[in-house]
Amino acid sequence: MALVIAKKGSIASARDVIITVNIHLNTPPTSTNLANLISTSLQADPDAVSSVGPSPADERSVEEVVTAYLMMASSSAALPDNPYEKQFAGIDELRILLRTAIGLFKSHAYLKAHDLFRQALASDYAGDLKSRMVYDYLVSGYVGYSLASDTEGIRHLIASVQSDFAGYIDRSTELAMAEAHQEVATRQTADDMLFENEGILAELLNKFGPDDIACLNLQGLLYRRLGERKSSGGRRKHFLELSRSIFDHLASLELNLSVEHSNNRAITLIRLYELTGDAMALAEAETILSGIDYRVTSLPLADFLALPKALNNHGNVWKQKLQANPDADSYTSAIENYSRAERYWNEQQSPYEWAMLQKNKADVRCIYMKIFGLKKATFERAMTEIIDSLKYRSPDHAPYQYERSMAVKRELEKLLA
């Protein structure tokens, strides 16, 4: 889940004003689960390699980054401050209500915080900060419903903000609503809602300007998502080329392309390769992803939170290379990158993203066995992974992703025929 966050009070560049982050941790990391997460993260495939992973020196650096990632993600950066204390200093009931709401959000009790923000909005004393309250109400509900895979909850939330607080929707809230809308749309099998999102983003770009970085990023994501769907038929290449041109334009607007935007650009190129066989696109994607330094600890929050996405997509590059030029090393590299992404996305804290990694690992194992022959241990691991992925990809809450996991499961079952 990607969430558009506006840093209030900033008048710096658009890159500073709008940050795209992932909020997905619903329990704060402890020293124990951090240690378990890091120690069990790399699961090398016994059929392909005896050992895999970075050198001890690199391992320490990677561990520092993972620790920083989890701590930063769990700090709930969506609500970095409490602007209400001074404003409502003489109104104890409202001030305490809002203080409690922010505390609940930072403790990952998102829907409880959401309820309190709704109560605060009913107050006659909201005043100049009502727009901020609306934003906090939206963000807390969006995060909470997304973690619960409650797409209907997100739909109703957007409608509630539009109907009940139309006069208090500012730029940051508009962007967050567009993001939430696209999040719901991408989980559906039908494309209608994605095309609705296209119209929403076109209006925002018209309103905020054609070079608005946050809007362009969402638009590029939208066209990539349309381009990777078989339902788009003959327009798939058109959508992917649109996405590619948008991310190329973003690259021209940013002096140093962010990890988030680099990753989005790379996955678009991977999808183009999958559709057209354009080897140059795959090579460019690999170059982009290989250029990301996963050991840098001074990255902005948005870029920290894009690291597992990039690792997952680097695994996708190796999966495609495995199919193009069968090589056990490509298989090993794919599994290695997916497993490294699990350091950031584990089942307890990021079940939706973790399920995607299980599907991807099962898929690359299936491809490997189609090339090199059925292997009992590999097959059993792949079946466990695909079944695990289906725990969080249901036909009710994520029908599109459910079908993608089911497709891999069917391919695995064919190996036994």
Q: What is the pLDDT of residue 125?
A: 75
Tokens of 118: 């709704």
How far is 336 from 314, CA to CA, in rounded Å?
10
The pTM is what?
A: 0.74
Res. 37 pLDDT band, cuts 50 70 90: very low
Q: Which of 198, 171, 204, 167 is nearest to 182 (CA)?
A: 198
How far is 78 from 4, CA to CA, in rounded Å?
9
Q: Is the model's pLDDT at 30 over the cut of 80?
A: no
191 or 28, higher pLDDT: 191
Q: Is the model's pLDDT at 268 over the cut of 50?
A: yes
Q: Express each pLDDT in 134-190 by its tens digit.
A: 999 998 998 888 777 788 899 999 999 999 999 999 999 999 999 999 999 998 999
Res. 86 pLDDT band, cuts 50 70 90: low
Cα-flanking dihedrals φ and ψ of residue 4, to 5°? Answer: -80, 125
Q: Is the model's pLDDT at 88 over the cut of 70?
A: yes
Q: What is the pLDDT of residue 80?
A: 46
Q: Which of 301, 307, 303 is nearest to 289 (CA)?
A: 307
Cα-flanking dihedrals φ and ψ of residue 6, to 5°? Answer: -100, 125
Mean pLDDT of 351-355: 90
Q: Is the model's pLDDT at 322 over the cut of 70?
A: yes
Q: What is the pLDDT of residue 90?
A: 62
Dihedral angle sign, alpha carbons of residues 263, 269, 273, 274: positive
How far is 237 from 218, CA to CA, in rounded Å?
18
Res. 34 pLDDT band, cuts 50 70 90: very low
Q: Is the model's pLDDT at 131 over the cut of 60?
A: yes
Q: What is the pLDDT of residue 166?
A: 94
Residue pair 111/144 in contact by the 8 Å Cβ criterion: yes
Q: Is the model's pLDDT at 23 over the cut of 60?
A: no
Q: Is the model's pLDDT at 288 over the cut of 80?
A: yes
Q: Which of 343, 275, 280 is nearest to 310 (CA)?
A: 343
Q: Is the model's pLDDT at 245 over the cut of 70?
A: yes
279-290 vs 259-276: helix crossing angle, rounded to 10: 160
Q: Express each pLDDT in 374-416 by its tens digit.
A: 999 999 999 999 999 999 998 988 899 999 999 999 999 999 9
Q: What is the pLDDT of residue 201?
A: 97
Q: Express each pLDDT in 42-76 by its tens digit.
A: 333 334 332 333 344 444 455 555 555 554 444 43
Average pLDDT, the chain: 81
Q: What is the pLDDT of residue 301?
A: 60
Residue pair 322/298 in contact by the 8 Å Cβ criterion: no
How far is Cα of residue 385 from the mean position of the Cα atoms in its chain?
Answer: 20
How far is 109 from 100, CA to CA, in rounded Å?
11
Q: Is the model's pLDDT at 332 over the cut of 70?
A: yes
Mean pLDDT of 10-28: 29
Mean pLDDT of 294-320: 85
216 or 128, higher pLDDT: 216
Res. 11 pLDDT band, cuts 50 70 90: very low
Of all residues in the chain, the percent with pLDDT exceeding 90 is 56
How far is 137 from 116, CA to CA, in rounded Å?
8
Mean pLDDT of 229-255: 92
142 or 313, higher pLDDT: 313
Q: Express each pLDDT in 184-238 by its tens digit.
A: 999 899 999 999 999 999 999 999 999 999 999 999 999 999 999 999 999 999 9
Q: Which of 280, 355, 267, 274 is nearest to 310 (CA)?
A: 267
Q: Is the model's pLDDT at 26 over the cut of 50?
A: no
Q: What is the pLDDT of residue 129?
A: 84
Residue pair 321/282 in contact by the 8 Å Cβ criterion: yes
Q: What is the pLDDT of residue 14?
A: 29
